[in-house]
Every structure is written in C-alpha cells, then in structure tokens.
Amino acid sequence: MGDWTGIMRPWIIALLLPLATVRSGEIADAIAAAPRAAPVAPAADLEAARALFEKNLDAIRRHDRDAYLACYLNADTLARTGPEGPQLGYDSLAKETGEDWPDLFEGLDLQLVPIRPGLVYGTYRYRVRYGAREDSGISERFFVKIGDGRTDRAKTGAGATGGGRTADGETGGGWKIAVTTAFSALPGTPPPPRALVGATLVDGTGAPPIPDSAVILRGGKIDCAGTRAQCPPPKGIDVLDMKGTWITPGIVDAHVHFSQTGWADGRPDSIDVRDRYPYEEVQAGLRAHPERFLRSYLCSGVTAVFDVGGYSWTWDLRARAEADPLAPHVAAAGPLLSTLDFWLNLPAERQFIYLGTEEDARGGVRYLASHGSDAVKVWFIPVAERNFDDMTKAVLAAGEEARARKIPLIVHATGLKEATAALRAGANLLVHSVWDVPVDQEFLRLAKENRTIYCPTLTVVDGYRRLREAATEKKPPSVDDPNGCVDPDTLARVAETARLTVKADDPKADEQRRERFAAMNKMMPVNLKTVRDAGITIAMGTDAGNPLTLHGVSVYAEMEAMQTAGMTPMEVLVASTRSGAMAMRRLEEFGTVEKGKRADLLVVGADPTRDIRGLRQLRYVVKGGVVRAQTELRAAAPSSSGSK
C-alpha cells in the first residue's frame, strides 16, 4: 500500500476523534488505544477484514439484506457517516436496508490499513447507478474484532433487530463493521486505476495491432499502453481480463448538429411537421434536454463529437458535456455564416447568419470569436440569384478573419466549384464530399497545401431519401441501432414517419430527385477514394441530427460506407478516431490509445481491422478511465431506465 498508508493515517485519527465522545466499547477503546505508530497487525486480521469487506460489498451487489446486515456491529454505537454527518445505531440501518438497492454496484480499489490488533481501517471507491442516475465516491469501513460478544447484541441476544444472526464463522471469526461512511466524489475526481489485459490493441495511430496487450488506466488517463511486458499491471490494481477482444480509441464523430433532432421536426424544410411540432418548441426541447443524444453517443462508443453548426446554446453544451461522465467531449462552432439567407431560424435567434458582403463576414467572425467558438462554419450554398464571385469574396473574407483569430474554418461545400473556393479561403475542414463532379488536381493540391481534413459524410443524404420514401409508402423507416442506444422519444418520432403526408410531387420531379440522389451516391465514394489516394487526411462524420441520421448510432453505417468506398478498415478506424480528434484540434488530449491521453476507449468483440463492422460488437465503453459495460450504458439511456 506504500505511500497511501502514510497519507491516510493521521487523517484516520482525525476522523475518529469526534466519535471518542461516544461511549462505545470497541470504538472508544480503539481510539484510546490508537497508537502513534501502528504496530503491524497479524496478517490474519487483514485477511479477516478483507473477507468481511468482500462479503459486505457482495451483499450490496446481490441485494441480499440479511447477508448485508450480518456484516455490521449490532449496537447503538454503529456509526454511519455521510455528507450530512453521522447517524448512530444498528436499528436505523436495519430499517433502511433493502429500500433502495442500486441497479448497478461497482466497488474497486479496496485498501486496508491495520490500526492495531483487532482493528482494521478500509476504503473502497464505489460507483452506483439508480436508473439513469450515476453516482461515484469513496466509502470507508472500520472493522473490529468482537471479543466474547461484548459489544454485539446479536451475539448476546440483547434486542437484535437483524434477525439475531451473527457473522461468526462466515465473516472471519467475529469481525464486524463498526463505522461506515460514504461520500460522493466531487465532479472531475478521477476514477480508481485499472488494468485491461489480454486484448489486441489497435491504438488509432495506424500502427500494427498489438496482441495480448496491457492498457493501464490511472487518473482518468492512459498511463501505459503496449505489450504486457511494456505495461505490467502494478501490484494491487484491479485487473480486467480482456482476452478475445480488441481495444480501440473511442469513436470521434466530426460532424454533428445538436440543434437537430434526427427527424423532420428539426428540419421542417425536409417534410414540414410544424403543425404538430412547432419549431420553436422543438428547439426549446433540444436546448433543455440534450442528454438523450449525449447518452446515445456514449452508448454507441462515440466519446467525442464536433457540433459544426447550430444555435448559440450549443457553445454552453461543451462545459455541460465535460462535467457529465455519461457524455462525449463536445466542440461547437455555434451559428453558421451562410451565403443563403436561410429561413430556418427562431424569432429571436439565428442559426444562419447571412453572409452577404465581406463586412458581414468580418462581423460574423467577430461575433463567433467573442463567444469562444471552436470554429467558423460557413455554409457555402451557390445561390442562383447571387454572383458567384461576390459569394466567394465573402467566404474568403471569413477565412481571412478566422485565420487572424486562429479559429479553424469549416466549410459546407458540396460542389467542386465552391469547395475549391473554400480551399482558397483556407478551409481547415470540409464537412461534406464533393458530390457533383470528380475532384480535380487543383482541388487535391489546395487540400494538401492547406492540410485540409476531408470529412466525406456519405450517408446523410440517404436519410433524407429514406424519410421521403417512408412517408410516401406509409411504412416506418428502419432504425440501425445494434446496441439499443436510441431514446424512446426519437424512436417514436421515427415511427411517426409512416403517418406523415407528403405533398405528391409530379412524377417528373420525383424522378429527377431520385436521379440526383443516385448520382450523388455514385460520385461521393469515387471522390473519397481519390482524396484517400492523394494522402489527404480523412475524418469520419455523420451529420447526425439530420432526418434519419440519428445521433450516436449513425456512425456504424458511415464507417461501413467509407470502407465500401475503398478505404481499408484500419484507415477507417484512424479516420474515426485520431483524425476526428485532429479535426477538433484536440489530438493532444484524445483520439489514440497512447500514454498521457484521456482514457477514452472501446473494447469490442470482433476485429475492426478485418472489417470495420467489428465496432458494432461493443463490449465496454471507457470514458475518462471509467469502464462501463455497454449493456450498462444501454440501461442508462432513458428508454430502459424505468421510472428513475
């Protein structure tokens, strides 16, 4: 236990002093006798205390009231301390026990300190879940050896309420818990260290996988990642056997919109549903309750997302998500500068700032910069009524102003002409494929010169097509959610598609639309392959929030489309982790499984370097060093959390 005992011992005595006023056989004795330098208690004491400790925690895990109560000193002096102070007496414990077992209980980092013969102090770090609510903290125990039944009424038969049972024999020969405490950890407290051993490590750098690896998590970060010989698990650390699995970095989705729902209500320009879902109310709901999408991301293995355009509240979401252990890291671009004066705004707030002149561009960037935006996002829509060169001038001005303020420039440009202009403006991130014609040498040269990251966003267009088809055919669209992450409200909306009425287009317009979708779906993979062959950095992004591109779960289809387009599974994996972190400009912090990075990683049951579909087989999602089984995150989604 090393340093730990040295740090804790003075503190233990401080903790005990107030209790000295309580006349309580064993405890008062213990304090009176608390030595300055504790003699080493017999190993048998530690062993007995550990056995009782484990029995105690196991009883919580199994919701076994009798076994739980049998661990405690049946006396009026039994002390239970929490943030509100101590509470005395076994009877009150017996009364409360069994009312509120956690749905999940995790006890790690068991530590024991011998104080003197017959008295052992212990702590463990807990993480509990009640429905969707998670709490973690530290809990202490004082283990005392009961001599001749002197203090335990259960042994003497004096008014026991715990069924008169004794833990003798079962708990290591007359040992009981005399003091117990639990305190929630302050936000940001790192979880206890852990070691994940035996998995094949795919670290996200593109380096060859490491079989039979070890990854040591400490302080919420990666302390070591490599072979078992390079990273031997330190003594006493909790070890998880991950044999037969693969470890990858957490997925980064570099293109999402929290101001959109994943259905038509967030994009009434697709199918207008404002008669039943007024846009103002939809937006108020998104702002008040973004957590269902944050949960869906984590549940799907996505540990960081880049919101590349929305209402200004998305800036505040960054801190909110950072403080929420069940949320991915969020970067946010805030309102977009748009060459199209788009109508989809709120009465008192715009998500589309009109980019008319160069002055508009400079004013817009000043506004974004003054709010600490993570990027300047330009929606470069070639408007037929506007002069293309005028629009380009405004975009160039936005790029210049962003550069001067060291803010990355993100551009939505889907035609080669405007995408090339965007590169001239210094675009750091293109969040869509060029989908009208093949990219040319000039495009590739500019992208390379700029070190532009290309985010192909292949599948979002198909969501619009599927929405319209489902509404026309009166059939609910399918939901690709292999891990049960989508919240019930979203699922209900998606199902409602079958009951929508779409204005029937004339057959010719319908035919044209189909042809346009088909042409785009043909061109995008071709251009992705060209961009990849040219060595341009590619990041995965879904455009989640758009109709039927659901937050979180859409990453699988997007990654698989990238693989189908000709990227190797390893290239897709790097694009979906490391390059996404680069796009967010947070590669120093996360995106690979390397020493010093945040411990955000996935444990999957199939080899993602053979087929990127392997990432669907999520076993564990590790965020900030907390290892959660995927099934646990499913339960955390409001869909299956019951009433809590």
Q: Are strands 352-354 and 376-379 parallel, antiparallel or unpaired?
A: unpaired
Residue 447 has phi, psi (to 5 degrees) of: -65, -40
3-class secondary-structure state, position 167: coil
Q: Are strands 246-249 and 601-604 parallel, antiparallel or unpaired?
A: antiparallel
Min CB(342)–Zn ion separation in Å: 13
Min CB(565)–Zn ion separation in Å: 19
Which of the residues 374 through 393 are near Zn ion (CB under 5 A)? none
* CB burial string 108-132: b at 16+ within 10 A, e below: bbbbbbbbbebbbbbbbbbbbbebb
Residue 405 has phi, psi (to 5 degrees) of: -100, 10
Min CB(338)–Zn ion separation in Å: 12
Nearest to 140 by CA among 107, 187, 104: 107
Decide whether 331 or 602 has the Cβ nearer to Zn ion: 331
**Which helix (H) or strand (E) is 111 found in, with range?**
strand 104-116
| Size, binding site for Zn ion by CB under 5 A | 1
Q: Using CA atoms, how far apart are residues 503 and 484, in angstroms rounded to an integer?
A: 33
Decide whether 543 or 558 has the Cβ nearer to Zn ion: 543
Min CB(431)–Zn ion separation in Å: 6
Nearest to 623 by CA among 127, 78, 36, 236: 127
Decide whether 180 or 457 has the Cβ nearer to Zn ion: 457
Amino acid symbol at 283: Q
Min CB(120)–Zn ion separation in Å: 58
Min CB(177)–Zn ion separation in Å: 55
Which x/- pattern over 498-537 shows residues binding Zn ion (rule: CB under 5 A)?
----------------------------------------
253 binds Zn ion (CB under 5 A): no
Instruction: Could you list the beta-strand ranges (E) of 131-220.
Output: 133-145, 175-184, 194-197, 200-201, 213-218
The residue with its CB nearest to Zn ion is: 543
Decide whether 57 or 431 has the Cβ nearer to Zn ion: 431
**Are the C-beta atoms of 187 and 181 separated by less than 8 Å?**
no
Which residues touch 530 (CB under 8 Å, ≥6 apart)? Answer: 438, 439, 444
Q: Using CA atoms, how far apart are residues 188 and 460, in angstroms rounded to an integer?
A: 35
Decide whether 116 or 318 has the Cβ nearer to Zn ion: 318
Give me the half-sphere count of Cα atoms (radius 13 Å) on the Cβ side of residue 98: 10
Decide whether 457 or 497 has the Cβ nearer to Zn ion: 457
Residue 57 has phi, psi (to 5 degrees) of: -70, -40
Locus of tokens 């010719």: 508
Min CB(543)–Zn ion separation in Å: 4
Decide whether 203 or 543 has the Cβ nearer to Zn ion: 543
3-class secondary-structure state, position 359: helix
Decide whether 543 or 571 has the Cβ nearer to Zn ion: 543
Which of the residues 194 through 233 are near Zn ion (CB under 5 A)? none
Min CB(122)–Zn ion separation in Å: 52
Amino acid symbol at 561: A
Q: Cα 437 to chain center, whole Å?
A: 38
Decide whether 202 or 305 has the Cβ nearer to Zn ion: 305
Instruction: Could you list the beta-strand ranges (E) of 340-467.
Output: 352-354, 376-379, 409-412, 429-430, 453-454
Decide whether 292 or 412 has the Cβ nearer to Zn ion: 412
Min CB(516)–Zn ion separation in Å: 18
Min CB(335)–Zn ion separation in Å: 13
CA dihedral 621, 627, 632, 638 (to 10 degrees): -70
Min CB(90)–Zn ion separation in Å: 60
Which x/- pattern over 539-578 shows residues binding Zn ion (rule: CB under 5 A)?
----x-----------------------------------
Locus of tokens 């011998």: 114
Decide whether 142 or 297 has the Cβ nearer to Zn ion: 297
**Are the C-beta atoms of 326 and 251 separated by less than 8 Å?**
no
Q: Are strands 409-412 and 376-379 parallel, antiparallel or unpaired?
A: parallel
Decide whether 177 or 381 has the Cβ nearer to Zn ion: 381
Which of the residues 120 through 159 are near Zn ion (CB under 5 A)? none
Decide whether 256 or 485 has the Cβ nearer to Zn ion: 256
**Which helix (H) or strand (E) is 87 found in, with range?**
strand 85-88
Min CB(572)–Zn ion separation in Å: 20
**Are the C-beta atoms of 432 and 399 separated by less than 8 Å?**
no
Min CB(323)–Zn ion separation in Å: 26
Given the rule CB under 5 A, which residues bind Zn ion?
Answer: 543
